[in-house]
Chain A
Amino acid sequence: MSAPTPMSGQFARFAVSPARRRKDKLARAAITACTVIALIPLGLVVYYLLSKGLGSWSWSFLSTDPTGNTFFKASSIGGIKSAILGTVEIVALASAIAIPIGIGVAVWLVEYGRASGFAKVVRFFVDVLTGVPSIVFGLFIYIVLIVGTGSSYAGYKGSFALALLMLPVVIRSAEVILLLIPDALRESALALGAPRWRVIFSIVLPTALPGMVTGVLLAIARAAGETAPLLFTAAATDKTNLNLGQFMNSLPVQIYKDVTSPTTAVVNRAWGAALTLVAMILLLNLIARLISRRSRLA
């Protein structure tokens, strides 16, 4: 066999045929190329966000409300203050709803429900929730809280829609972490004569806390970027409004509104708002990753 590379003595006759070698090289190159291609959009998105968005950033951009005067010059269209505050408020309320409920359900699944038939049904429904498109959550809340009550859009209704979206994420991630906690830990606490509720609150939850924080932060990050569930629940408004019972602006909805504008200045505001939103979400992701790296369950 004539190997292309010099093979010393004995091994030459075991050399891989050139055809096989070529195929291997080709396949490896293709796989590597695909990986590079996969990362190109990330680079481009980040590059455009920075190059277009940073230009919009200024103190007045962050500290003034949008004016709605989309046909005037750039200085009069206003900033994104109401959108930032609205996003923070809506997401905060959504977290306050989804996190306790989600962790409660996860605790029930792991500590009480286990492999029972009812637990299987609950898991199935959580899976169903996971797959529901985010806009359908908006429709659900619209039907129940707007058609059902005959009232109009409000910030808290947006929070409910986002909470529905967060719920399966929180349940799933908390359940995964709770399952990682060794049974020996629960058993040793039970064997000390601790009632189950004390085992859960004093042993299981504190041990699981760092891991659950990671999942929760990722859920919050996800909810913060959602537009569709807010469109017909919290709606949009230009003015800063701290009352969750009223129309409320948010960053994603602001961006969505601005994208369709023919005015360059307004589109630039969308870039600035997008950069702000992505920065907030990446920050949450970063914190989540740092926490999860620090707490590896034994």
Chain B
Amino acid sequence: MNTAAMPGGDRPILARSPLARLPDRALKYGLTILAALILALIVYFFVRLVGQARPAFAHAGVFGFTFNNDWNVSGEKFGALPLVVGTLITSGLALLIGVPIAVATALYANELCPLRLRAALTVLVELLAAVPSVVYGLWGIFFLAPKLQPVEQWFANRLSFIPFIGGDSVTIPNYFVAGLILAIMILPIVSAISREVMATVPADHKEAALGLGATRWEMIRTAVLPYCRAGIVGGAMLGLGRAIGETIAVTIVIGDAPGLGKHLFGQGYSLAAVIANEFGEAQGLHRSALFAAGLVLFVLTLLVNGVARVLVSRASHPSKTPSAPQAAVGPGQVAGAVAGA
């Protein structure tokens, strides 16, 4: 084949023109620059957000802004405690209600469910994540909240001896409904992560338990749950991150009352809701305070998500070093990655 090149000696076979190498370098450096630009962009956004929030922080101090219990727009007082508390109460409720149900769903799908139903069940739970936030808000305020009100009132009356639970009259939009809606919204992500972590339980652990004569529940309790604890906690933290940042549904069903709610079934506010609700009309210091609320929200989710990622990656790769968390991803994780966003 090389007869044409043989006699001349002018075509060294190990050479290639510099021109032919060009696209390789262009692609490599182009993509590297792209990745670097993304980093730069995020840093730039963060710096600008801090800049916009500075007047509000200067006004009351970072600590004062976050923990003063006084959000009064006309009085130019911006203490975000009612918002922070609202965010924490609703997200806490979401975890309390959502995580046990999500874990149970994952257990059912992985350990109890007939194989034929497993895929369908998984799809249905994931569909919960496909419903937009605003639709949950719409459904929550026009269906869930009114239907729940008598039940809530009953609880409030019976349990009035517990502080913060009841005594007062129940409003239709309130902390509890917001928490319940959030619980529904975080269910798919917590369930997806739990399912993934449970799938990593080695079959011989489970068989060892069953082989000793354990019932199915005893097998779950002794072999599955202990093995998955870190992963489930991580999944719950990811859910918490979502609940904290969730905006529109909460804005619709929390009542948007700019004070600290007196009880669980009273109106309140949250960090995300205050931005959605007031940003359009805000000016000057008020606007800066809303940026500051956004910054607090951002930092809060960053912390929660950071802890969550560490827990999940440790749980899914127990034998591997955390330096290679992407090495063992499976096709199911596409959905996980999407749901986690």
Contact = CB atoms under 8 A, between A and B. Distances in A.
Interface of B: 20-21, 23-24, 26-28, 30-32, 34-36, 38-39, 42, 44-45, 48-49, 52, 100-102, 104-105, 107-109, 112, 121, 123-125, 127-128, 130-139, 141-144, 184, 187, 191, 213, 215-218, 220, 241, 244-248, 252, 272, 275-276, 279-280, 291, 294, 297-298, 301-302, 304-305, 309, 323-324, 326-327, 329, 331, 333-335, 337-338, 340-341
Nearest to A167: B38
Given A31-B112, A39-B124, A48-B143, A173 B102 contact: no
Interface in A107-139: 107-109, 112-113, 115, 118, 120-123, 125-136, 139
A144 B144 CA distance: 38
Given A122-B39, A125-B42, A173 B112 contact: no
A147 B324 CA distance: 41
A123 B338 contact: no
Given A16-B213, A139-B294, A143-B49, A281 B27 contact: no
Q: Is the interface of B mostly helix, strand, loop or mixed?
A: helix
Specify which of A101, A224, A256 lies most central, judged by the most chain B CB atoms within 10 Å of its CB. A256
Interface in A40-70: 41-42, 44-45, 48-49
A143 B47 CA distance: 11
Nearest to B127: A42
Contacts of B305: 127-128, 130-131
A104 interface: yes
B48 A144 contact: yes
A187 interface: no
16 contacts: A44-B144, A45-B131, A48-B143, A107-B31, A108-B32, A108-B35, A122-B35, A122-B39, A131-B245, A131-B304, A135-B245, A218-B334, A228-B247, A252-B134, A274-B135, A277-B132
User: Number of contact residues on A: which range applies?
Assistant: 35 or more
Contacts of A144: 44-45, 48
B23 A274 contact: no
Q: Rank and list the top 9 A-B pairs by shortest CB-CB distance, nearest first.
A: A133-B245, A225-B132, A34-B104, A131-B305, A108-B31, A24-B215, A27-B217, A172-B337, A228-B247
Contacts of B275: 135, 139
Given A24-B215, A133-B301, A195 B20 contact: yes
B213 A104 contact: no
A134 B280 CA distance: 16
A128 to B, nearest CB: 6
